[in-house]
Amino acid sequence: MKNRILTSVVIVVVLIGAFLSKMATPYFFDVIIGMLAVIAAGEVAKVLERDYKFNNVYLATAFVPCLYVGIALGIINSWRFDAYLLLILSLILFFSILCFISVFVFKTVTKREMDKYMFKGSVSKYAFRKTMNTLLVYLYPTMFFMSLWFANHIVELPTFSSSFNLSDLSVGFFVLLTIFLVSIITDTFAMLFGMLLKGPKLAPKISPKKTISGAIGGLLGGILIAFIVYAVLMTQDGFVTFVETANVYWWHILLLGLIGSIISQIGDLFASLIKRHARVKDYGTIFPGHGGVMDRVDGLIFNSVFVMIFMLLLV
């Protein structure tokens, strides 16, 4: 418990520092997200291997910085979303071809892997399976982290900025704070309500400790923190202008908190399902008492996709 508390304090301090750094430059926050994404991709790749979904861990992690550099160039040059789509598809195709070819190039490694996983098919079939399994890691968790990069630059995206003509930091803070705090408070309230009220299990075969009472508590926490973030930022003129221009109403904030909390919990369960299949407790050990990166951001990255879609629908 001591390690868990100490780690939590360190994580909170780093997060506060990352948010404060946005007042100088958004790219420091990008780097932190990128580092977490690289580690998370490696964690998921290794857990999948435990479930005999053999993949190329090196390419799975190398895909992350390449995607980040492409997105950074797109943001700097004000790309439209179709350009990002082309970038993503091109990178996935390139890395998939590279993964497939590498199976034939590194014959010794391939032979050792096929023996390890007791694969009885041809090398070509193994190459295809390995490429498809590596593709899973490109999609999850990397594509989900991509939404965090976009969220960090939402006021710079042409679709958003052209509609509202805003560059105020408070709008960017609202998006990121909603993503992070709704997920964190949902998780915290779910744990507290679950411990206090107990009751029927939510999904005993996937995550035995989660309860229905905890899930409801998480929903209440998500809604509460969404309104708190909204109320605090309404003291900033730039955010007030955004609210008035975008016609943001109280029920928008309710939906952000409610659906964001639901999706965060779904993301948590999805990550738990992968671990359950692989018969592992945690994705990693980088955070003492908490597990790996994916054990901390599983719900957050799901919520980031929802919040980004929600905000862009305001356009």
Indicate whether 237 pLDDT > 90: no
Task: Kindly report the average pLDDT of the chain as a whole number.
Answer: 92
Rounded CA gap, 276 and 6, in Å?
27
Phi, psi of 27 (to 5 degrees): -80, -25
Indicate whether 20 pLDDT > 80: yes
Q: Taking the model in full, what pTM does it have?
A: 0.93
pLDDT in tens, 130-184: 999 999 999 999 999 999 999 999 888 876 665 555 556 788 899 999 999 999 9
Cα 224–chain centre separation:
22
pLDDT in tens, 39-88: 999 999 999 999 999 999 999 999 999 999 999 999 999 898 899 999 99
- Which pLDDT score, from 0 to 100, does residue 226 have? 97
CB 221 within 8 A of CB 190: yes
Contacts of 229-236 with C-beta under 8 Å, sequence gap 24+, read: 229/174, 229/177, 229/178, 229/181, 230/174, 233/170, 233/173, 233/174, 233/177, 236/168, 236/170
- The residue extents of the domains of the chain are 27-152, 166-315
Picking from 130, 72, 121, 122, the residue whose alpha carbon sits closest to that of residue 101 is 130
